[in-house]
């Protein structure tokens, strides 16, 4: 009996199954006949250079299938009537309906097809060319050295005190009245959204969200079994009358808002708008989750206080993140709240994943305390200002009449609305062919309906790339307009 | 007008609010009279050494309160009728009922009170004295150097390919028939539990769990709005008849099981038990989540194949973790599944927190590939064997007649059942006074009912500490028994 094992781990499957398969094949090919004795376990194990348990497991499997038969003290024998037992039927698990819903959402994401070399004006991920990677590596090395093995324990659901201190100080600089105890660190602001939403809303409840809004929050909220209510965005922020009507509905439990450097619109609301928004939340008795994910990225204009800085009643839960201002890979975000809400967030965080990774929190604390983060921001803002100015200039130069766009005072994104009649999702393949990617507006709508809006970013693209990308986009728009003129018009019979 | 600012960031609150508060106080104390002009914004900002926006914000706040009045081009004046405006009433948010339920569970955790110096036989966290911290730090340094800034991007919901390759190879060594594409990395096995459960069960559905079981999984499952069905543990694994009855119920969507080194019982089921368990799952058409969190910690005895290694139908989703075999702080766990289930897990992971931290995954991959993990395991298992033997010996020596305990072949935990009539939750304060901590059994029961069971571990305690801890525990048990004999018996009148 010849048995050849695939020795490279990860190939050929588990060894015991390889052995069983080959013996089964020998029997099927009648090279091993009924009543013949298999080699003793110990001998075969030695011959193959494997553990005895491995051979025993193979024999056990064949015996269970009825191919061989073990006789205590005598050995293992090929059975006379070999009726190969079919493997069990494949099990098709029923997925949760929420997962089906999520998979539908995933499938509706834009496909960029073959986009090699296209300018990535779709991406809201900061440019790796701008990461202070070496400085961060040093901070991580120092933090691990100082922290010792204790840094490798569970850190508890609230996160490293040193990092919370550093971030609380930073938030106070942004006008928030907070201390380290008000912060719950989490795994990026994205996890913070899920935690904060769950504090107030249970499955079946409804969450009010701007429209357009950050597309992933639609996934998060629906994946939790919650419904969404769309409150339309205007040029100067969410429609406040619509907001009041929506928050008055009893099933709506909270409002999620991005008042500063809105995603996808890039706009920042005025102080007056913020005060009115808080007054509405107070009248309706509904909390507000303020996503301040780009708060450190102001390029110019006067800072407007965060909702959380204006809130004296305790209405606002504030989310912050280092993913856009430093890099996403550090996975440190924070939820800022008060009293009972902190307790609720901790219980949820504990039930979600117990604790974040302390080494990265310690490194980031080191990085912030040392002033390296502040220096990085100064440099980053300078780059962003130049890129934004180039983008706004190029839009002015290239986009067809009837197009409109926002002028962000910070962050990475500009919202463009093309002339009536353009569906930006349909435009995407043409843009890809022309050498540019953008984020079509439909995915920021709650119901995924067609949009003439699109999001452009200057996150991943430098000045030259931005210029080239906008020109390519304008080219694709002109092409499409010309083609639609050339297209034969339907004839009425 | 005197204004003294608390300069130290993080103290005294936002600066604009300090300014507003002090001007308000000046007016209240009538040191600033009706009609008096406040200093021009620019001048006060210069005097205080703050940004003009900060002063403007303070004036704006006072104006909104009706304390002062701005007159365009003339300046800001104290109003004649100063009616201080009360701060808005404190907002009491309504918490989600699921959060209330979680908070109740959190409050029911055992309190150890003042336990300084007590032997930590309650803890399932590996001993920091055994962490290969220096070797891991080196691996992290190397990984970051090689990976460059790209390692600081989002890594995608599936996790670093290099880490998945390394872990798939490791799992194949455990008899699983998997490739890197079958793995979804996550933030510790604890996050893996939440993700895997959500694949099959939506809020309102029911999850079958062993009883006793890992207490945090009760929190996780209930925090998601799911109900639990208890399937009793016997000495040799879960009661299979009860399992079949439970899985036959339509609202029960899956079974969560810890067949190897059970938490809290420390037991490992036989191959026959595993085959029968899978047959039941197949008959009922319900998937099994196998939590293999301590799979690398076998001390002695023959390995029993994982449920996932025996499963040919695709019934089993397998969870693994490095939290117990290396240290928790690396936060790398994995869910292993097939086809559609992987797609579902990725959608859920994306909606939960987008991506894990790549630097730690890269470091761990480096650590596993280099053989450092294997070397660490060899050493760790030797330490665990010695500690376990000491614990079993001490239990034999000290525990009163009528006590029973398990004899784990791996992992960190022993389950002890004290003689009839003892409630181990009530025993805990006495044990703490005697100098030992343990995990009382009630918290592993679905309904939190009293238990005469308790979990002891040799994770955080070395041999001498284990010996001392078990002796102290036995002392506390004897004391309590003696006290209950001395207690006056109720007299029947």
For chain A (length 493 residues), average pLDDT per consecutive 10? Answer: 71 77 85 87 88 85 83 84 66 92 92 84 96 93 89 92 96 93 95 97 97 96 96 96 98 98 98 96 97 96 93 95 94 94 96 91 95 96 98 98 97 96 94 96 96 97 98 95 74 58
- CA B459 to CA A67: how far, in whole Å? 45
| Closest Cβ–Cβ partner in A97, A187, A359 for B353 | A187
- CA A197 to CA A170: how far, in whole Å? 24
Q: Could you tell me which chain B residue has the CA closest to the CA of A8?
A: B169
A91:B179 CB<8 A: no
Q: Which of residues 361-380 of B touch A (CB under 8 A)?
A: none
Q: Tell me what pLDDT residue B492 has.
A: 59
B148:A133 CB<8 A: yes
Q: Tell me what pLDDT residue A116 has.
A: 83
**CA B431 vs CA A356, B119, B401, B418, B422: distances in Å:** 32, 10, 18, 14, 13
DSSP assignment of B364-391 equals HHHHHHTTHHHHHHHHHHHHHHHHHHHH
A14:B309 CB<8 A: yes
Q: Is the pTM of this model over 0.95?
A: no
Best mutation target, B331, B349, B355, to test chain A (most A CBs within 10 A): B331
Q: Tell me what pLDDT residue B61 has.
A: 82
Best mutation target, B347, B349, B443, to test chain A (most A CBs within 10 A): B347
Q: Could you tell me which chain A residue has the CA closest to the CA of B326?
A: A152
Is B128 in the A-facing interface, judged by CB distances under 8 Å? Answer: yes
Q: Tell me what pLDDT residue B121 has.
A: 97
Q: What is the mean pLDDT of residues B60-88?
A: 77
Read off the pLDDT band of B85 (50, 70, 90).
low
In percent, how much of chain B has pLDDT > 70? 95
From A95's Cα to the closest Cα of chain B, the distance in A is 5
- CA A149 to CA B147: how far, in whole Å? 24
| Closest Cβ–Cβ partner in A200, A222, A330 for B357 | A330
Question: What helix, strand, coil percent values describe chain A, rounded to 5?
Answer: 45, 15, 40
Pick the closest to residue A170 from A356, A376, A328 (CA basis). A376
Q: Tell me what pLDDT residue B489 has.
A: 61
Read off the pLDDT band of B176 (50, 70, 90).
very high
Beta bridge partners, B211, equal: B232
Cβ atoms of B419 and B452 closer than 8 Å:
yes
More confident residue, A284 or B83: A284
How far from each other are the two terminal CA atoms of chain A, in whole angstroms? 80
Q: Is the peptide bond prior to B212 cis by the omega test (within 30 degrees of 0)?
A: yes
Read off the pLDDT band of B475 (50, 70, 90).
very high
Q: How many A-B residue pairs are in contact by the CB < 8 A criterion?
A: 318
Beta bridge partners, A37, equal: A77
Is B22 in the A-facing interface, judged by CB distances under 8 Å? Answer: no
Read off the pLDDT band of B446 (50, 70, 90).
very high
Q: What is the mean pLDDT of residues B121-129?
A: 96
With 0-12 / 13-18 / 19 or more C-beta atoms within 10 angstroms meaning exposed / middle / buried, residue B369 is middle
Read off the pLDDT band of B81 (50, 70, 90).
low
Cβ atoms of B56 and B95 closer than 8 Å:
no
**B128 interaction partners in chain A (CB closer than 8 Å):** 148-150, 152-153
B190:A340 CB<8 A: no
Q: Which of A200-204, B121-125, B338-342 has the lowest mean pLDDT?
A: B338-342
How far from each other are the two terminal CA atoms of chain B, in whole angstroms? 80
Per-residue DSSP letter, A298:
B
HSE-up of residue B243 (Cα within 13 Å, Cβ side): 28
Q: Tell me what pLDDT residue A482 has.
A: 87
B10:A169 CB<8 A: yes
Q: Tell me what pLDDT residue A198 has.
A: 97
Q: Which of A197-201, A229-233, B40-44, B457-461 has the lowest mean pLDDT?
A: B40-44
Q: What is the mean pLDDT of residues B275-301?
A: 96
Question: At residue B345, does pLDDT exceed 90?
Answer: yes
- CA B422 to CA B425: how far, in whole Å? 9
Q: Which of residues 83-122 of B touch A (CB under 8 A)?
A: 87-91, 93-99, 102-103, 105-106
Q: Which of residues 208-267 of B touch A (CB under 8 A)?
A: 216, 219-220, 222-223, 225, 253
B352:A179 CB<8 A: no
> Mind spelling out the 3-state secondary structure of A191-253?
HHHHHHHHHHCCCCCEEEEEECCCHHHHHHHHHCCCEEEEEEEECCEECHHHHHHHHCCCCEE
- CA A408 to CA A385: how far, in whole Å? 10
A356:B91 CB<8 A: no
- CA B277 to CA B288: how far, in whole Å? 9
The ipTM estimated for the assembled molecules is 0.84
B225:A219 CB<8 A: no
pLDDT, one tens digit per residue, over B9-30 is: 545 667 888 888 888 888 888 8
Angle of CA points A416, A421, A423, to nearest 5°: 60
A223:B179 CB<8 A: no
């Amino acid at each position: 009996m010849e048995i050849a094992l695939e020795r490279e781990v990860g190939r050929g499957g588990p060894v015991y199954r390889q052995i069983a398969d080959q013996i089964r094949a020998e029997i099927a090919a009648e090279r091993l006949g009924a009543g013949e004795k298999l080699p003793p376990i110990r001998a075969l194990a030695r011959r193959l250079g494997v553990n005895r348990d491995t051979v025993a497991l193979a024999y056990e499997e064949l015996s269970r299938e009825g191919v061989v038969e073990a006789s205590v003290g005598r050995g293992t024998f090929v059975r006379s009537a070999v009726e190969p037992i079919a493997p069990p039927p494949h099990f098709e698990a029923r997925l949760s309906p929420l997962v089906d819903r999520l998979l539908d959402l995933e499938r509706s994401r834009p496909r960029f097809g073959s986009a090699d070399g296209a300018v990535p004006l779709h991406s809201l991920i900061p440019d790796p060319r701008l990461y202070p990677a070496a400085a961060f590596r040093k901070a991580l090395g120092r933090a691990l050295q100082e922290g010792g093995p204790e840094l490798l324990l569970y850190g508890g659901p609230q996160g490293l005190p040193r990092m919370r201190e550093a971030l609380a100080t930073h938030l106070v600089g942004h006008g928030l009245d907070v201390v380290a105890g008000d912060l719950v660190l989490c795994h990026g602001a994205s996890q913070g959204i899920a935690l904060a939403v769950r504090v107030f809303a249970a499955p079946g409840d409804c969450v009010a969200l701007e429209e357009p809004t950050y597309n992933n929050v639609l996934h998060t909220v629906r994946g939790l079994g919650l419904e969404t209510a769309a409150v339309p965005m205007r040029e100067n922020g969410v429609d406040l009358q619509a907001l009041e009507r929506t928050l008055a509905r009893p099933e709506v439990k909270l409002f999620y808002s991005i008042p500063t450097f809105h995603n996808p619109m890039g706009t920042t609301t005025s102080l007056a708008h913020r005060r009115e928004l808080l007054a509405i939340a107070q009248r309706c008795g509904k909390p507000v989750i303020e996503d301040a994910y780009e708060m450190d990225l102001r390029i110019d204009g006067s800072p407007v206080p965060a909702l959380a800085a204006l809130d004296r009643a305790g209405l606002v839960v504030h989310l912050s993140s280092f993913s856009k201002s430093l890099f996403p890979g550090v996975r440190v975000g924070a939820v800022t709240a008060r009293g009972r809400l902190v307790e609720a967030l901790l219980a949820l965080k504990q039930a979600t994943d117990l604790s974040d990774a302390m080494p990265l929190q310690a490194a980031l604390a080191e990085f912030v305390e040392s002033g390296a983060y502040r220096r990085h921001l100064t440099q980053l803002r300078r780059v962003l200002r130049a890129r934004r100015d180039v983008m706004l200039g190029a839009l002015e130069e290239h986009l067809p009449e009837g197009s409109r766009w926002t002028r962000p005072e910070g962050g990475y994104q500009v919202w463009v609305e093309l002339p009536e009649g353009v569906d930006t999702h349909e435009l995407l393949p043409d843009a890809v062919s022309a050498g540019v990617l953008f984020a079509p507006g439909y995915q920021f709508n709650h119901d995924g309906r067609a949009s003439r809006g699109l999001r452009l970013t200057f996150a991943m693209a430098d000045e030259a790339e931005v210029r080239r990308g906008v020109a390519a986009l304008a080219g694709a728009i002109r092409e499409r307009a010309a083609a639609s003129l050339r297209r034969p018009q339907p004839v009425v019979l």
